[in-house]
Amino acid sequence: MARDWIYPSLLILRFLLPNQALRNYPENEVTLLDSMSALGDLGWEAYPAEGWEEISVMDERNTPMRTYQVCNVMEANQNNWLRTSHIPRDGAQRVYIEIKFTLRDCNSLPGVPGTCKETFNMYYYESNNGNVWFIKESQYAKIDTIAADESFTQVDVGDRVMKLNTEVRDISNLSKKGFYLAFQDVGACIALVSVRVFYKKCPLTVLNLARFPDTVTGGDSALVEVHGSCVNDSEELELPRMYCSADGGWLVPIGRCVCRPGFQESEGQCQPCRPGFYKALSMDSYCTKCPPHSYSLQDKASECTCEKGYYRAELDPRSMACTRPPSAPENPISTINETSVALEWGPPRDSGGRGDVTYNVHCRKCPGDGRKCGPCGSGLHFSPRQFGLALAKVQVTDLLPHTNYTFSIEAVNGVSDQSPSPRQLTSVNITTSQTVSVTLMKRKSKDSITLALQGPESANGANVEYEVTYYEKNQRDQNYTVLRTRLNALTVDGLKPGTTYVFRVRASIDGGYGNYGGDIELETSHEDMLAIGDPNQPTILAVSIAGGIVLLIFLVACFVVSGRHCGYIKAKQDPEEEKMQFQHGRVKLPGSRTYIHPHTYEDPNQAVRDFAKEIEASNIRIERVIGAGEFGEVCSGRLKLPSKREIYVAIKSLKAGYSEKQRRDFLSEASIMGQFDHPNIIRLEGVVTRCKPVMIITEFMENGSLDTFLKKHDGQFTVIQLVGMLRGIASGMKYLSDMSYVHRDLAARNILVNSNLVCKVSDFGLSRVLEDDPEAAYTTRGGKIPIRWTSPEAIAYRKFTSASDVWSYGIVMWEVMSYGERPYWEMSNQDVIKAIDEGYRLPAPMDCPVVLHQLMLDCWEKGRSDRPKFGQIVNTLDKLIRNPGSLKQLANSSVWEDPITPELSSGTVEEWLDAIKMGQYKEQFTTAGYVTLDSVIYINSSDLGNMGVTLVGHQKKILTSIQSLQTQGTQVQV
């Protein structure tokens, strides 16, 4: 009877339930069981037999639907079970059970007893096995007690709209292969219309060009971390990851893929770039059009190919247009000044499309003496450099006189090396002047003048002939005389007494005269045999023959200066070394530019005005203190002059409270420095005198003073680098000596080094030797002298000459080769003077090439005329640089060239120590058991320290000598 109450409602239900074929499940649900889609018997088990009953009803399409129902409400103690077949869980840890059912309320059933129920229970049982035929009730795990939201109140519902109850429950953390569900009825009237079991997944998705697969959600509410894989033609930028949430949604995307070069993103995929387009980097978003002068013929291009004749430099971005080498520089201009030339040119008409144009200057020379033209070699000096010039100009110095040079200038840019075509060059031919020095030796009588002739310098034994033309001043049209000679002196007779004659000289080397130089005016004496020119004090008048025009200009300039300041005498420079420029108030032809001592000015401020440019203080920016000078701080900073590039400068300032004399002395350095213009002499930028503090501005030398610099980089340079530095210093000194300037304090501490390792001579103050230099010591004759750097004659009787500068240069060589070691180590000044006087000389520093030590020894010749001139030193160093093999033999390898270790083939330790002026350690050596020379040769510096020889200088001296002894021993053995 009870069943009858249910049937009508099921008939209504068939219209409420959708046809199974029409059922649409959400995308993220995977159905494990759906009772409504079972076509045949569901095969569920019901017990006891009078409990749940399977009923088929038809849906609106007459498709049978399987339902179970039970309605034993009239009897008490019901316990009816319905168990599904085994449901494999398919890897899911959490499954959902959706049940649709109807449930009658007990009140609507007439006469039912109080045992009638309105709920039922749902259970599950996990099992790996699909064939379990019996499960005890106690083995089931309860999922929930299910009650209806809506229940029948009447059997015949008429037009009442029935609601189907839908409940969803879930089970988590499943671990076995599958499970059974069970429904327990304890006395209700139920129709179980549909049971669907499903789990949730996060569906396959593509995000940020990464594909994330279908992913089953985790148990409980855990998130599952999933790594995506990049779609075709893309690559991982950062590992793509997402979390699959328990309810089947994707959360928190991290990382991404990007399309490979040659592809761009479109609708979640990577599409190839079209021909004519490219994409160079994965990170670029889109394909872009090929830049100018490039193309891509195929799709998927990651870069475009340059058109013929165009190139791309290694570091050029792919988006940059292809470029080509520049055309040749234009309109070169040369300005020759005796043996130097300033070359300037215009930029190339076509820069090739690049901004990195630099210039290289190539040089060939034709000596003009019949020898073949060839490369210029390394003797020339290019300032700022020969190759890689950023500005369109270069200064070339140290050219040979009377020589044809061809300078070929090429413009290059970042792609020049890639082009097979020859570089386009612009050439400049120049011919340097012959230099003839004409020396007025003496006036033999009132009617003759003797000229000493010398030059050209390059003649090197070639046949030189001089042609002297002279005439009485203002009488040229009437009479002039031409004399020729191959001798170096010429006496012109038959002149009128007390008369001014004009002489002109030109020279020829192996035929072919050069041009005449400027006019030289000389006056015969009134008295016979009046010696006005001492042969030891000749007036040297150098005539630059092919460069006559340049020279004349210079003469005019000198004349202006002399006109204003005639009558001054030189204050400190030694007359023997000087080429006098002024005599009896009349200008004589200068041999070369000559240094003018600031003391020759009555008003020293005028010297500053003449030689130093006044700079507005507002153009200077002081940045930091870099040193202390005699007169105040030395700072670094920047100087920006109108329409000039900003440059780094050193700024010396005169401290407050100075006396007038201090101001004069301070500024004297500027008026000396301002007269020099050479790549190896510190350059004066200008002075500030119109406001306080008074300042001297010079070029900035990044590496500071040479001695400190060398100590800091002990052992870090190649011999060639060291020789290069020495060459620079020698070249600067040659320039100074050519200008008749005697430095007097040449030492590594007074050389400055810039960032290119270029060494420049500095420290030109007048008072410096007296007060500034901490190395200067008082001599017995008074005056302060840096003893260790100074030649014996300068110490003994203040004979400062360029030859004494050469002595100091030898000491600088030693300082350089020993990386800033103190000359004569800890020896006292008195010991140094004595040792030098006795003929001892500094030994070669460690690893010093023998040729360099020999050059030092030459600089330390006792007789000053036996020392090389700076020009010779430059030449010697140039030869060494050209032939580095000559630097291979090290001085320390031969004892016989060690001047400090006497020639000891036998002898006692005591004699040896005496000989190297280390006699004070005799006792220490004896106490330590060193009694024969054989025994000392294995001593090292720590042995010396243990013995009590702790001064590093002494240790070095002893070890250097021991090295020599070792070699001596080796030689004896051989």
Residues that bind ligand AMP (CB under 6 A): 626-627, 629-630, 634, 650, 682, 698-701, 704-705, 752, 762-763
Task: Specify the residue, 578 or 630, whose C-beta has the smaller distance to ligand AMP.
Answer: 630
Helix (H) or strand (E) holding 870: helix 870-882
Q: Tell me the C-alpha distance between 621 and 688, whole Å.
A: 13
- Shortest reach from residue 771's CB to ligand AMP, in Å: 11
The answer to the question of whether 631 is labelled as a binding residue is yes
The answer to the question of whether 567 is labelled as a binding residue is no
The answer to the question of whether 669 is labelled as a binding residue is no
The answer to the question of whether 374 is labelled as a binding residue is no
Classify residue 91 as exposed, middle or buried by CB count within 10 Å of its CB (0-12, 13-18, 19+). Answer: exposed
Q: Is 9 helix (H, G, I), strand (E, B) or coil?
A: helix
Task: Specify the residue, 630 or 738, whose C-beta has the smaller distance to ligand AMP.
Answer: 630
Catalytic residue among 185, 398, 745, 898: 745
Q: Which residues pair with 55 in a beta bridge?
A: 67
Task: Specify the residue, 100 or 652, whose C-beta has the smaller distance to ligand AMP.
Answer: 652
Under the phi-then-psi rule, with left for phi > 0, alpha for psi from -120 to 50, and beta for the rest, what region is 914?
alpha
Beta-sheet strands, E only, within 619-725: 620-628, 633-639, 647-653, 684-688, 695-699
Kindly report the backbone phi and psi dihedral angles of residue 830, in degrees, each rounded to the nearest multiple of 5, phi listed first. -60, -45
Task: Specify the residue, 346 or 627, whose C-beta has the smaller distance to ligand AMP.
Answer: 627
* Residue 745 among the catalytic residues: yes
- Shortest reach from residue 835's CB to ligand AMP, in Å: 28
- Shortest reach from residue 624's CB to ligand AMP, in Å: 11
Task: Specify the residue, 248 or 679, whose C-beta has the smaller distance to ligand AMP.
Answer: 679
The answer to the question of whether 393 is labelled as a binding residue is no
- Shortest reach from residue 386's CB to ligand AMP, in Å: 24
Please enumerate, as own/partner, the contacts of 258-267 that have beta carbons within 8 Å and a separation of 24 or more: 258/209, 258/234, 258/282, 258/283, 259/209, 259/233, 259/234, 260/233, 260/234, 260/235, 260/302, 261/302, 261/303, 262/287, 262/299, 262/300, 262/301, 262/302, 263/233, 263/234, 263/287, 263/300, 265/209, 265/234
Task: Specify the residue, 320 or 777, whose C-beta has the smaller distance to ligand AMP.
Answer: 777
CB 290 within 8 A of CB 277: yes
CB 806 within 8 A of CB 734: no
Helix (H) or strand (E) holding 851: helix 850-859
In the numeric block, which tokens belong to residue 67? 């339902």
Q: Which of 650, 647, 648, 620 is nearest to 632 (CA)?
A: 650
- What's the gap between Cα 924 and its chain centre? 51
Kindly report the backbone phi and psi dihedral angles of residue 169, in degrees, each rounded to the nearest multiple of 5, phi listed first. -130, 160
Tokens 């060009």 correspond to 209
For 489-522, letters b (16+ CB in 10 Å) and e give: ebbbeebeeebebbbbbbbbbeeeebebbbbbeb
Q: Tell me the C-alpha distance between 681 and 734, whole Å.
A: 11
The answer to the question of whether 628 is labelled as a binding residue is yes
- Give residues with Cβ within 8 angstroms of 585, minimum separation 6: 566, 567
First to last CA, the chain: 135
- Shortest reach from residue 622's CB to ligand AMP, in Å: 13
The answer to the question of whether 633 is labelled as a binding residue is yes
- Shortest reach from residue 820's CB to ligand AMP, in Å: 13
- Shortest reach from residue 670's CB to ligand AMP, in Å: 12
Task: Specify the residue, 389 or 752, whose C-beta has the smaller distance to ligand AMP.
Answer: 752
- Shortest reach from residue 572's CB to ligand AMP, in Å: 19
CB 313 within 8 A of CB 414: yes
CB 897 within 8 A of CB 891: yes
Task: Specify the residue, 504 or 749, whose C-beta has the smaller distance to ligand AMP.
Answer: 749
DSSP 528: T
Helix (H) or strand (E) holding 662: helix 660-673
Q: Which of 253, 169, 167, 170 is nearest to 219 (CA)?
A: 170
| Cα angle: 83, vertex 87, 88; to 5 degrees | 155
The answer to the question of whether 630 is labelled as a binding residue is yes
Task: Specify the residue, 473 or 640, whose C-beta has the smaller distance to ligand AMP.
Answer: 640
CB 4 within 8 A of CB 152: no
For 932-970, letters b (16+ CB in 10 Å) and e give: ebeebbebeeeebeebebeeeebbbbbbbbbbbbbbbee
Kindly report the backbone phi and psi dihedral angles of residue 638, in degrees, each rounded to the nearest multiple of 5, phi listed first. -130, 150
The answer to the question of whether 626 is labelled as a binding residue is yes
Task: Specify the residue, 277 or 631, whose C-beta has the smaller distance to ligand AMP.
Answer: 631
Task: Specify the residue, 452 or 650, whose C-beta has the smaller distance to ligand AMP.
Answer: 650
Task: Specify the residue, 33 or 701, whose C-beta has the smaller distance to ligand AMP.
Answer: 701
CB 520 within 8 A of CB 543: yes
Q: Tell me the C-alpha distance between 467 and 503, whole Å.
A: 10
Kindly report the backbone phi and psi dihedral angles of residue 355, in degrees, each rounded to the nearest multiple of 5, phi listed first. -105, 5
- Give residues with Cβ within 8 angstroms of 217, minimum separation 6: 92, 93, 94, 199, 200, 201, 202, 224, 244, 245, 246, 247, 248
Tokens 């008082």 correspond to 778
Q: How many CA atoms lie within 13 A of 173 on its CB side?
A: 3
The answer to the question of whether 660 is labelled as a binding residue is no
- Shortest reach from residue 396's CB to ligand AMP, in Å: 24
- Shortest reach from residue 633's CB to ligand AMP, in Å: 9
Q: Tell me the C-alpha distance between 401 and 379, whole Å.
A: 13
**Which residue positions form the known binding site for ATP?**
626-634, 652
Residue ranges of the binding site: 626-634, 652
Q: Which residues are catalytic?
A: 745
